[in-house]
Structure 1
Amino acid sequence: MGNKVVTFTEKQLDDYQDCTFFTRKEILRVHKKYRELRPDLVPRQMTEGEASSVKVPREYIEKMPELRENPFRTRICEAFSRDGKGNLSFEDFLDFLSVFSEQAPRDIKVFYAFKIYDFDKDGFIGHGDIKSALVALTKNELTPEERQQIADKVIEEADVDGDGKLSSIEFEHVVFRAPDFLSTFHIRI
């Protein structure tokens, strides 16, 4: 009797369910949230091509209530975007929210946390990355000397191999010692 709009095919939903930590219902809720960001741009029915080619610009993603106040919102968008600029396709957006879900395992969360903190994208967390994180976290309230001291101390404490930077494994060791990591690396949909 009513015209029901089918957002995804059964195969698409199966595929999304297989590669995320979401149920079908949650995937549809994520699509609704994504579409609300730019209803003029995001179609109600998504073909496989559109799910990876239609992109919501980063500035709209950053305005989401869940990210608006997050000092790492730009880096989060960049870490999940295939274009590296923070513009997210539906599939990028789905990955982003899946990783930040309660169901995502700790090791996947750590992998993406590393990508987010790797500001210069060189595969390591160095002094510059730590200083950039400090600027974001403190809204530039620390002096350059204070940022340098903190970066030196972090590297000194966590750099096991003595190369002056943190590898993903060294970063993982630090994060595993942080008891509140899982509760802070989380977005509820």
Structure 2
Amino acid sequence: MGNKLVTFTDQQLENYQDCTFFTRKEILRVHKRYREVKPDTVPKCMTGNEPVSIRIPLENMEKLSELKENPFRKRICEVFSRDGKGNLSFEDFLDLLSVFSEQAPRDIKVYYAFRIYDFDGDHHIGPEDLDHALRLLTRQELTPEDRQQIIEKVIEEADVDGDGKLSYMEFEHVITRAPDFFSNFHIRM
């Protein structure tokens, strides 16, 4: 009967289940994984405001095996962090893994993919955003001319309204026609 350690209150677990695509067991597994990143900072019990107030710095999060090989790891952490700098609270981390889970619906994945590619945060994916993405994806192995050629082709193909940048709707249209995108937009724990 004993001294069972309570990681979260029942209400917290219920709220996390309502806001994510995870079961209680998966939420507890996410907490365990989060705690492993910096055990001296993250308590075993998070029944107060710790799930929001305790943050693990970006440099620690980028070392996670689930993220370290992803060229967008810094940007992913920035998008999901409440501080915008990539320092993740447990709830930020839970949201991140939930969106990247196989259970997350396509429209949620498209929304966050758009935010990740919108490096300057202007609600469009412009030539500068595409250039930044290409540099990350190719580890800067393309010449500026090659990148420019690709950027022009992407905009030519996807920019329906002719404004020189991709709106969310234009991005969504392109992404939903690329089945490989969704099969690669996940993180396994």
TM-score range, shorter chain: over 0.9
Q: Partner of 1:15 in structure 2?
A: 15
Give the RMSD, CA atoms, in angstroms. Answer: 0.9
Q: Partner of 1:90 in structure 2?
A: 90
Q: Partner of 2:147 in structure 1?
A: 147
Q: Which 4+ residue blocks in structure 1 deviate beyond 3 angstroms?
A: none
Calculate percent identity across the aligned residue pairs.
Answer: 73
Aligned residues: 189
- The normalised TM-score by structure 1 is 0.98
SS in 2 for 1:150: helix
Ranges in structure 2 where 5+ consecutive residues have no aligned partner: none
Instruction: Give the letter aligned to residue 162 of structure 1.
Output: G
**Are residues 1:121 and 2:133 paired?**
no
Distance 1:8 1:15 in 2: 11
Ranges in structure 1 where 5+ consecutive residues have no aligned partner: none
- The normalised TM-score by structure 2 is 0.98
- Alpha-carbon distance, 1:47 to partner: 2.6
Instruction: Give the letter aligned to residue 111 of structure 1.
Output: Y
Q: Partner of 1:181 in structure 2?
A: 181
- Alpha-carbon distance, 1:3 to partner: 2.4
- Alpha-carbon distance, 1:117 to partner: 0.6
Q: Partner of 2:28 in structure 1?
A: 28
Instruction: Give the letter aligned to residue 152 of structure 2.
Output: D
- Alpha-carbon distance, 1:182 to partner: 1.6
Q: Partner of 2:167 in structure 1?
A: 167
Q: Contact (CA 8 Å) 1:158, 1:171: kept in 2 or not?
A: yes
Q: Partner of 2:157 in structure 1?
A: 157
Q: Contact (CA 8 Å) 1:17, 1:23: kept in 2 or not?
A: yes
Per-residue Cα deviation, 1:87-142 (whole angstroms, up to 9, x for no partner):
00000000000000010000000000001111111111000000001100111111
- Alpha-carbon distance, 1:2 to partner: 4.2
Q: Contact (CA 8 Å) 1:12, 1:48: kept in 2 or not?
A: no
Q: Contact (CA 8 Å) 1:117, 1:129: kept in 2 or not?
A: yes
